[in-house]
């Protein structure tokens, strides 16, 4: 899935105003701070570069890739991948 999303944005411009959970595959490749909403609550994600690759921080834990983040990161005891349809309004935080 990640490869498809990244390829998509090589062909079309990325629009943060239309971003959802799957667009995090694209966004989380570069350092920055992001948020995504679930039940009107903002969840904060940070990306730093570590040894030339992105490290993703969420809720006090760090993940080596977005794929690992998807496998392990949880909110309210549920993996992000099981509640992807409840996540909305991705934004870049300054």
pLDDT for res 8? 87
Domain count, the chain: 1
The better pLDDT of the pair 47, 20 is held by 47
For the whole model, what pTM was predicted? 0.86
**Range list of H helices, the chain:** 2-11, 24-27, 66-72
H-helix or E-strand containing 55? Answer: strand 53-58
Return d(Cα 80, Cα 11) in angstroms, integer: 27
pLDDT at 5 (0 to 100): 84
Give the residue numbers spanning the domain of 46. Answer: 2-93
């Amino acid at each position: 899935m990640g490869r498809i999303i990244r390829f998509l944005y090589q062909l079309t411009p990325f629009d943060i105003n239309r971003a959802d959970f799957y667009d995090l595959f694209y966004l989380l490749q570069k350092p920055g701070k992001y948020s995504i909403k679930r039940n009107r609550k903002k969840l904060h994600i940070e990306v730093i570069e570590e040894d030339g690759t992105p490290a993703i921080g969420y809720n006090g834990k760090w993940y080596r890739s977005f794929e690992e983040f998807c496998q392990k990161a949880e909110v309210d005891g549920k993996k992000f991948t099981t509640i992807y349809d409840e996540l909305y309004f991705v934004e870049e935080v300054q």
